[in-house]
Amino acid sequence: MGQDQTKQQIEKGLHLYQSNQTEKALRVWMRVLEKSADPAGRFRVLGCLITAHAEMGRYKDMLKFAVVQIDTARELEDPDFLTESYLNLARSNEKLCEFQKTISYCKTCLNMQGTSVSMQLNGQVSLSMGNAFLGLSIFQKALECFEKA
């Protein structure tokens, strides 16, 4: 599957998803994931799958796709993609109440300063870290993270 076709199929899945045809969108995205040789397209479709599974409460599936997305980001050797994928991994662990892992992945994101995406994601990273500290009942650190967010 070429880059243009990958992009078209991702857009088709987004249109289905926005039309509340979630299962059809997931099938389209899974087909793209299986057939696409374009790493950037695979990264993007993994992001769609992560978001959809998060919104449906399927957190183990969200985590599974986040791990694949990290591998794809490493293959691309792009620090922006890597930062975004670590945030998705942190969020997945947050939803699964793996708060120590969430904090670790958030710190990894924050240590990747200098990427263009990292500045845009810092608020979201701080929010996830705050939620993790809250889950661990470390209220002062949670408050500090929320203030940063």
pLDDT tens-digit map of 40-93: 999 999 999 999 999 999 999 999 999 999 999 999 988 889 999 999 999 999
pTM: 0.91
Whole-number mean pLDDT of the chain? Answer: 92
- Rg of the chain in Å (alpha carbons): 16
- The distance of Cα 36 from the centroid of its chain, to the nearest Å, equals 19
- Residue 78's pLDDT is 86
- Residue 103 confidence (pLDDT) above 70: yes
Q: What burial class does residue 46 get, using C-beta atoms within 10 Å of its C-beta: 0-12 exposed, 13-18 middle, 19+ buried?
A: buried
Which strand (E) or helix (H) includes residue 38?
none
Give the separation between CA 85 and CA 68, rounded to whole angstroms: 9
| Per-residue pLDDT reduced to its tens digit, 19-33 | 999 999 999 999 999
Residue 49 tokens read as: 């799958």
Domains of the chain: 1-77 (1.25.40), 79-148 (1.25.40.10)
* Closest CA relative to residue 41, chosen from 50, 53, 32: 32
